[in-house]
Amino acid sequence: MSYQAIIITIGDELLIGQTIDTNSAWIAQELNKTGINVKRRIVVADKKADIAEALDASLPHADILFLTGGLGPTADDITKPMLCEYFGGNMVVNETVLAHVKQLFAKRNRPFLERNLKQAEVPDNCTVLFNRMGTAPGMWFEKDERIIISLPGVPFEMQTIVSEEAMPRIRERFKGNAIVHKTLMAIGVGESFIAEQIEDIETALPPHIHLAYLPTPGFVKLRLSSEGSDKEQLQREVDIHADLIRQRLGNVIAATEDIPLEEIVARALQLHRMSLGLAESCTGGYVANRITNVAGSSAFFKGSVVSYANEVKTNVLGVKKETLETVGAVSEATVIQMAENARSILKADITLSISGILGPGGGTAEKPVGLVWMAIAGPNKTISKSFHFFYDRPRNKEMAANAALNMIRLFLEDL
C-alpha cells in the first residue's frame, strides 16, 4: 500500500517570486523516508478563497495534506482562522501555547504586546503541535480519515515541529511501501555522455528500478529509485545496479550518496590525515566558506588568504611584483606562487590557489571573462590547470569553486 501526500504552500511572496520555497523539499524528504509519496505540490496566495479552493481540490487525492505558511503574528496572516472555519471549529486561547509565547518574548527581551495574544489562539477542533522554536503552533486536523497538518512557514520552526511532533504521529498512523533512492554524483562530464556510456546498464534495469538524470551546476546526479514491500531486498538490488554504474564511470563518480562536494573533500582529507589551506582571489572566500560549512572542519582546515587586491597577493602571499607586471594576476605563474607560498604561510599539508576573471567586467581579448587558473601545492609536487567558464558571474563562481573542490579530490585520490 502506497500513501499519497500533497503539500500546499501559502504565501504571496512565493507567487511574486520574492521567496524561494525550500520547505516543500524538506518535507518531501522526510515523508519519503517513511515511504510516503508526494504526489503534487501547490503554491497559492494568502487569500481565503484560494486556500479553500486548493483544499477542496487536494483533499480527495491525499492521505496527508501539509499546509505551510500564513501563521505569523502580523496582519497579513489569515490561515489559522480560515482553517478553523473550514473545519468547523472555534478559536480559543490555548494556555500551554500562551505560557510558551510569553516565555519566548521574555527570553528575547521583547515586550509581549496585545496583538501577540492572538498567537496563543488555536481552533478547538485540532491537536496542537508544539513549536519549541517559535511562537506559532502547528495544527493537526482530521477529516474523513485524512490528516491535514498546518505549519508555520519559518523553516527551522517548521522543521522542528515536523521532526518532533508530526512525524512520530504520522509513522504510527501510516505504514506504507518502502521507497529506496540511491544517488551517484558524477562530475566533469555531460548528461548525454553518461547516458551513452551506461546505455546497456540502463536498458537492463528491472522495471521497478527507475534511473533519473539530474544535471546541477556541479554534478550530474544519477538517481536510482525503487518502491516495493521488502526494503532490504530493494536496497540490495539498487546497490548492485549502482555499483555497475560506478565501476563503468570510474573516478567521474565522486560519491555514491547525495552529499555536497565539500563533504566529499572533507572526508578525503581526513582519510589521508592532511590539512588544507587556500589562497583565493576571484572566488573571494567562497571555497573557504564551502569547506567551513562542514561541521568539524577545524580539524583539517587551516584557513584562506582571500587576496582580492593585487597588493594582498604581494604583501601577504609574497607573489613577486615582477610576475604580476609581466604575466598578470590571472596566470599559471601567479597561482603557483600563491599556492606554494600559502603552503608555508598557513602551514598546511596541501594548498589550493585560484585566480581568474568571473565577470561581468575585467575581460580582455587575451584573458576573457571566465578564464580561471588554479594550482595545488602538496608535499611532493605542485600541479596547475586552467579552466574556462562561459556563464554569468554567480554561475562562474559556482563552477570555479566546484572545479577547485574536485581538483582537491582528484589530487588526494592520486596520492
Binding to a copy of itself (CB under 8 A) within 329-358 occurs at 345-347
**Which residues have CB under 8 Å from 366's CB, separation 6+?**
none
Cell of residue 40, nine digits: 503534487
Residue 87 or 112: the one with the smaller Cβ distance to a copy of itself is 112
According to the binding rule CB under 8 A, does residue 192 interact with a copy of itself? yes
Compute the least distance from the CB of residue 96 to a copy of itself, in Å: 20
Choose, by CB under 8 A, the member of 216, 229, 233, 326 that binds a copy of itself.
216
According to the binding rule CB under 8 A, does residue 392 interact with a copy of itself? yes
* Residue 406, helix vs strand vs coil: helix
Applying CB under 8 A, what is the total number of residues that bind a copy of itself? 107
According to the binding rule CB under 8 A, does residue 169 interact with a copy of itself? no
Produce one character per residue of 276-289: b if its CB has 16 or more CB atoms within 10 Å, e if not: bbbbbbbbbebbbe
- State how far Cα 336 lies from the chain centre: 33
* Beta carbons of 102 and 112 less than 8 angstroms apart: yes
Stretch that binds a copy of itself, among 42-50, 81-89, 166-174, 239-247 (CB under 8 A): 42-50
Choose, by CB under 8 A, the member of 131, 183, 334, 341 that binds a copy of itself.
183
CA end-to-end distance (rounded Å), the chain: 50
Would strands 301-306 and 350-356 be described as parallel, antiparallel, or unpaired? unpaired
Would strands 371-377 and 382-388 be described as parallel, antiparallel, or unpaired? antiparallel
Residue 116 or 177: the one with the smaller Cβ distance to a copy of itself is 116
C-alpha 170/C-alpha 72 separation (Å) is 25
Choose, by CB under 8 A, the member of 128, 211, 259, 410 that binds a copy of itself.
211
Stretch that binds a copy of itself, among 141-149, 216-224, 247-255, 264-272 (CB under 8 A): 216-224
Residues in 52-91 at the binding interface with a copy of itself, rule: CB under 8 A: 54, 57, 72-76
Stretch that binds a copy of itself, among 83-91, 227-235, 333-341, 386-394 (CB under 8 A): 386-394
C-alpha 27/C-alpha 8 separation (Å) is 11
* Beta carbons of 345 and 307 less than 8 angstroms apart: no
According to the binding rule CB under 8 A, does residue 288 interact with a copy of itself? yes
Choose, by CB under 8 A, the member of 90, 229, 315, 364 that binds a copy of itself.
315
Would strands 253-255 and 178-186 be described as parallel, antiparallel, or unpaired? antiparallel
According to the binding rule CB under 8 A, does residue 326 interact with a copy of itself? no
Choose, by CB under 8 A, the member of 3, 10, 43, 149 that binds a copy of itself.
43
Choose, by CB under 8 A, the member of 87, 130, 193, 387 that binds a copy of itself.
193
Sheet containing 209-215: give its strands across.
209-215, 220-228, 178-186, 253-255
According to the binding rule CB under 8 A, does residue 37 interact with a copy of itself? yes
Would strands 350-356 and 382-388 be described as parallel, antiparallel, or unpaired? unpaired
Residue 45 or 91: the one with the smaller Cβ distance to a copy of itself is 45
At residue 190, what are phi and psi to the nearest 5 degrees? -90, 165
Choose, by CB under 8 A, the member of 39, 143, 248, 272 that binds a copy of itself.
39
- State how far Cα 101 lies from the chain centre: 31
DSSP 363-380: --SSS-TTEEEEEEE-SS
Which DSSP state fits 138?
A: E
Residue 43 or 405: the one with the smaller Cβ distance to a copy of itself is 43
According to the binding rule CB under 8 A, does residue 380 interact with a copy of itself? no
According to the binding rule CB under 8 A, does residue 19 interact with a copy of itself? yes
According to the binding rule CB under 8 A, does residue 321 interact with a copy of itself? no
**Which residues have CB under 8 Å from 49's CB, separation 6+?**
none
* Type and span of the H or E element at 206: none
Stretch that binds a copy of itself, among 195-203, 227-235, 378-386, 405-413 (CB under 8 A): 195-203
Compute the least distance from the CB of residue 17 to a copy of itself, in Å: 3
According to the binding rule CB under 8 A, does residue 228 interact with a copy of itself? no
According to the binding rule CB under 8 A, does residue 231 interact with a copy of itself? no
